[in-house]
Amino acid sequence: MIVAFLDLLGFSNLLKNNTEAAVDNINSFNDMIKTKVIDNKCHSIEDYRKNHPNAVEFHQFVEKTSVTAFEQMISFSDSLVLGGTDCNKFVKQLANFIATAYIEYSEPFREDFSDINKVTTNKNAEGCINGDIRYHKAFPILFRGGLSVGDDVSFFDEYHIKNSELNLSSLNVMGLTYLNAVKLESFGKGSRLFCDKSVVDVVNDETRRLIKVVDEKKKIYEIVWTIEGCEAMTCYPSDKWHNVIHGINDKMLPSAINLYQYYKNDKVLEAQYRELLNLVCVGIVKYARDECNRADEAIDYINQVLEKKGIQLIDSAVLKDFLN
C-alpha cells in the first residue's frame, strides 16, 4: 500500500494571526476531496470512456483530476493521511490535487499586494451588521508531505466520543510505512512532497517523470507536483505550449512570485516561499520539455518575467540533472 502524510504549510502562524482563514483552509481542502468523490459517482471515468471512446487524452485528464486512488483518508486538524493500492494512479492524483489546491486558493495573490492580511477571497462572511458585505481573508493552500510504500500499515475502525456519546465510526492508522511517510515530510522546507525509494521502485516510467532525486545517498526523492499544475483545472490537450504559457502568465507563477516578494525579508518564511518559486519554475520547465520539447524557451520566458520583478534568474544548469 502507498501512504501519504500531508499537512498545511504555515498553518501554525495562520492560526495565531487569522483563525477565520485557518478554518477556511481546513474546510476547503476537505470540501475539494468531497466534491471530487461526488463528481466521480455522478460522472465516472468508465462513463467517459464509454461515451467518448476515442478521446484518450480526455480520459487521462479526467482520471488524474479525480481521487479514485484515495481508498483511505483520515483528516485531522490541518493534516491528511491517505492510503491506496494503485501507486501510479495515487501519485498522479495526489500531485494533481495539491496543484489544484494551490492554483485555486492562491488566485487572490496573482495581483500585487502589500499586506497579506488584507487580501480577501470572493466568499462572503456571515454575521455582517447593517447589511455590510465582508469577504473572507485569503490564504494559499500549500501542502507539504511524505509518501512511502509498504505492507506494514493498517487502517482500522476506531472509537470516538462526540457530545458524550461513544461511536465506532472513526478511522485510525498505524505501521512503519505510515511512520516513514511522516518522517519524510520534514526532510526539506516549503511546499514539497518527499518520497523514498519504495515509491520509485513500484511506479512506471510515466509516473516516474514526476519524481526527481533529492539525496541519492539517503535515497530521498521528491514528487514535483507543479508538473501536474500545468494541466490542473484547465488543460489544452491540442496545444501543450498554451498550458506552459498559461502556467507562467496566470495559473502558477504570478502567485509564487508575489508570495516570495512579500516574505523575502522574513528570515524564516523567505526560504519556504523561495522553494515554492523554484518548484513552480522547475515544474513548468519540465512539462515544457516533456510535452513540447521547448524547455529552453520556457526558461527564457520565465526569466523575462522574473527579471521584470527584480528576482534572481533561474539557471538552466540547475535543471540539467532533473531534465535528463
Residues 180-226: tens digit of each pLDDT: 999 999 899 899 999 999 999 999 999 999 999 999 999 999 999 99
Q: What's the confidence (pLDDT) of residue 134?
A: 63
Least confident range from 31-40, 132-141, 258-267: namely 132-141
Q: pLDDT-based confidence at 65, cuts 50/70/90?
A: confident
Higher pLDDT, 149 or 315: 149
224: closest CA among 289, 175, 179? 289
Range of weakest confidence among 78-92, 118-132, 203-217, 231-245: 118-132
What confidence category does residue 39 fall into, taking pLDDT thresholds of 50, 70 and 90? confident
CB 229 within 8 A of CB 222: no
SS3 string, the chain, reads CEEEEEEECCHHHHHHHCHHHHHHHHHHHHHHHHHHHHHHHHCCHHHHHHHCCCCHHHHHHHHHCCCCCCCEEEEECCEEEEEECCHHHHHHHHHHHHHHHHHHHCHHHCCCCCCHHHCEEEEECCCCCCCCCCEEECCCCCEEEEEEECCCCEEEEEEEEECCEEEEEEEEEECHHHHHHHHHCCCCCCCCEEEEHHHHCCCCHHHHCCEEEEECCCCEEEECCHHHHCCCCCCCCCCHHHHHHHHHHHHCHHHHHHHHHHHCCCCCHHHHHHHHHHHHHHHHHHHHHHHHCCHHHHHHHHHHHHHHCCCCCCCHHHHHHHHC
Q: What average pLDDT does the segment 275-298 reach?
A: 93
CA distance 142 to 10: 8
The residue ranking higher by pLDDT, 6 or 60, is 6
Query: How does pLDDT run across 223-257, given as a tens digit for each residue?
Result: 999 999 998 877 777 789 999 999 999 999 999 99
Least confident segment among 52-66, 98-112, 150-164, 219-233: 52-66
Amino acid identity for residue 315 in this structure: D
Instruction: Tell me the average pLDDT of the chain.
Output: 89
pLDDT class for 41, splitting at 50, 70, 90? confident
Q: Is the pLDDT of residue 132 over 70?
A: no
Task: Indicate if the pLDDT at residue 44 is higher than 60.
Answer: yes
Q: How far is CA 76 from CA 143, 155, 170, 172, in A?
A: 14, 15, 11, 11
Tell whether the model's pLDDT for residue 60 goes beyond 70: yes
Does the pLDDT at position 282 exceed 90? yes
pLDDT at 131: 55
pLDDT at position 300 over 60 = yes
Higher pLDDT, 64 or 91: 91
What confidence tier does 273 reach under pLDDT thresholds 50, 70, 90? very high
Residue 125 has pLDDT above 80, yes or no: no
Higher pLDDT, 117 or 154: 154
